[in-house]
Amino acid sequence: MKTINNQPIGIFDSGVGGLTVLKEIHKLLPNESIIYLGDTARVPYGNKSKDTIIRYSIENTKFLLKHKIKLLVVACNTSSSYAINVLQKLFRGLHIIGVVIPGAKAAVEKTKNNRVGIIGTKATIRSNAYTKAIKKLNKNVEVISQATPLFVPLIEEGWVDKVYSIDRHSDYYRRVSHENILRQLAAEYLTPLKKANVDVLVLGCTHYPAIKSVIQDIMGRDVCIIDSSEETAKTVKEVLQKQSLLNANKKSHLKFYVTDDVVSFKAIGSLLLGKKIKDVKKVNIY
Amino acid sequence: MKTINNQPIGIFDSGVGGLTVLKEIHKLLPNESIIYLGDTARVPYGNKSKDTIIRYSIENTKFLLKHKIKLLVVACNTSSSYAINVLQKLFRGLHIIGVVIPGAKAAVEKTKNNRVGIIGTKATIRSNAYTKAIKKLNKNVEVISQATPLFVPLIEEGWVDKVYSIDRHSDYYRRVSHENILRQLAAEYLTPLKKANVDVLVLGCTHYPAIKSVIQDIMGRDVCIIDSSEETAKTVKEVLQKQSLLNANKKSHLKFYVTDDVVSFKAIGSLLLGKKIKDVKKVNIY
């Protein structure tokens, strides 16, 4: 085995959302060491401009490259939408995987009526990245996009499905009130997609799995909800296998870096990851 | 008149919110030139840590100092709460005015039952800056604070009072749905303050005047709502008068700088300001 096989996978995201991607990669490839960077000092990316998103993505990649990563996962949908091509040109030789193409592939495979819905941040939807990726795979698939910009702030406030139960400290009445508001908002955002009769809906933001059950309720049971995290993990495995880069060594580690405060990242991150986050450091990346 | 009198007033904010402060200063002091910096590439500040807020505030001040400002207004409540003391130590000799002390003064003047409510971002409320400022002025005033973190994202989505009508392009049903959701959320946030029987409520975030009528409705007509922008403008005038720094020259100009995209700032900014924003430049401040 080459030395490079022991090197870690690098993952970056604008904040905590990408931990859902890390979770799936770690589940599928437990031998792999992973270094995660959450750019919490500049979160969110979804309402920023293309140029700014690209600049931040380059800075994040440069930071991870210092840790000799063997493969980069861009876990942020907004960065994946705008910056993947730029990163691939700038950092030739580095294997770079975004979350958009795996999600698009899964959508094309799952749709039966060739009608796919996409939800995401304003920037992700404005970029048309999902539509382009899906059309490239099958030009007959109709793509209906909808920006859902208020989902992220609500989720970051802990207004999530019972499964995640970040909101568990709230009293019952507050939880009912939050669920009502979340449902009204989701109904407004999702009704155009439901009316458009999509049979697949891609969650084009790593935060959204936290409210999957509300989304599924509104879309109906027949609509297949795609969470890019699982699909991205599969792609990572495929690429590492193909390049003979899988790690046989069982001593793997998870390391976390954030650009803002460590404490709040540990708290919400541990819940998203389903296990306690220990090794977190604050870094200045620019 | 000294040359310094011709020099501009500098204002910074995390984004567009501080334009409500600029508007009041410009109304009260039309002869003064103003340079505004909106750190839109790193907005919002309200969910970031103390250290990061202080770092950003220093970088913003350094940028404005390059433009030879005669006085600095920290229009962001979050920055005012955490960074004013640090800025005053670092930049001795520069007149620095935040939005917290003017708001606190007005609250102490207006309250009759000595019960004052404060709403703001998580960071502003966590800092206790308003409580400290009010207690310093009158230790008998009881301060009841409430973080209202979802107001900013909603307002930035254009869910505002009819007066501002940023949401004017939405159809009627969507507007009614938004107003319902906003009212439910505001009721949840404000009920503890209403129950605490406050007779003054300080809007501790420059975005909040955009939903003042909803807040007034829920709090009731007897509660005096304080918008720090007007109070801050009065303080700026007092300081300039006292220091003999007012400008007699009528040729004043307004200049705007942002750290992210110019286009969206122009659009929402022009609405907040009530007049077209022309002279905007994108800058890299760090």
pLDDT tens digits for range A239-255:
999 999 999 888 899 99
- Any B CB within 8 A of A177 CB: yes
Confidence at residue B271, expressed as pLDDT on a 0 to 100 scale: 79
Q: What distance in Å separates residue B121's CA from the closest CA in chain A?
A: 12
Chain A residue at shortest CA distance from B174: A188
> What gap in Å lies between CA B246 and CA A80, rounded to an integer?
51
- Ramachandran category for residue B220: left, alpha or beta (phi over 0 → left; psi -120 to 50 → alpha): left
The correct answer on CATH 3.40.30.10 for the domain covering B3-98+230-282 is no
Contacts of residue A41 in chain B, CB cutoff 8 Å? 42, 48, 52
Angle at which helix B19-28 crosses helix B262-273, to 10 degrees, equals 50
Which residue in B164, B213, A173 sits closest to A181, CA to CA?
A: A173
Q: Render each residue's pLDDT in chain A as its tens digit; 286 residues.
A: 568 999 999 999 999 999 999 999 999 999 999 999 999 999 999 999 999 999 999 999 999 999 999 999 999 999 999 999 999 999 999 999 999 999 999 999 999 999 999 999 999 999 999 999 999 999 999 999 999 999 999 988 878 775 444 445 556 777 778 888 999 999 999 999 999 999 999 999 999 998 999 999 999 999 999 999 999 999 999 999 999 999 988 889 999 999 999 998 998 888 788 889 989 999 999 8
pLDDT reported for residue A156: 83
Q: Where are the alpha helices (DSSP H) in A111-171?
A: 122-127, 129-137, 151-156
The confidence score (pLDDT) of residue A1 equals 56
Interface-testing mutation among A16, A39, A49, with chain B (most B C-beta atoms within 10 A): A49
Cα–Cα distance for residue pair A153/A168, rounded to 1 Å: 17
| pLDDT at site A30 | 96
Nearest to B150 among A47, A153, A286 (CB): A153
Fold match between A3-98+230-282 and A101-228? Answer: yes
**Cβ distance A168 to A224 under 8 Å?**
no
CA distances from A45 to A80, B2, B158, B251 (A): 11, 45, 19, 39
Strand partners, B226: B202
- The CA distance from B116 to the nearest CA of chain A, in Å, is 24
Q: Where are the domains of chain A?
A: 3-98+230-282, 101-228
Alpha-carbon distance of B207 to B160, in angstroms, equals 10
Looking at residue A162, what is its pLDDT? 55
The answer to whether residue B205 is catalytic is: yes
Task: Tell me if chain A has a CB within 8 Å of the CB of B266.
Answer: no
Decide if B224 is catalytic: no
The answer, for B267 touching chain A at a CB cutoff of 8 Å, is: no
pLDDT, block means (10 residues), chain B with 286 residues: 87 95 96 97 95 98 97 98 97 97 98 98 96 98 97 86 52 78 94 97 94 95 95 97 92 95 89 88 94
Among B37, B76, B210, B211, which one carries the catalytic annotation?
Answer: B76
8 Å CB contact between B108 and B224 = no
A49–B154 CB contact, under 8 Å: no
pTM of model > 0.90: yes
Check CB contact under 8 Å for B260 and A174: no
Does the beta carbon of B249 lie under 8 angstroms from any beta carbon of chain A? no
Architecture of domain A101-228: 3-Layer(aba) Sandwich (3.40)
pLDDT for the residue numbered A123: 95
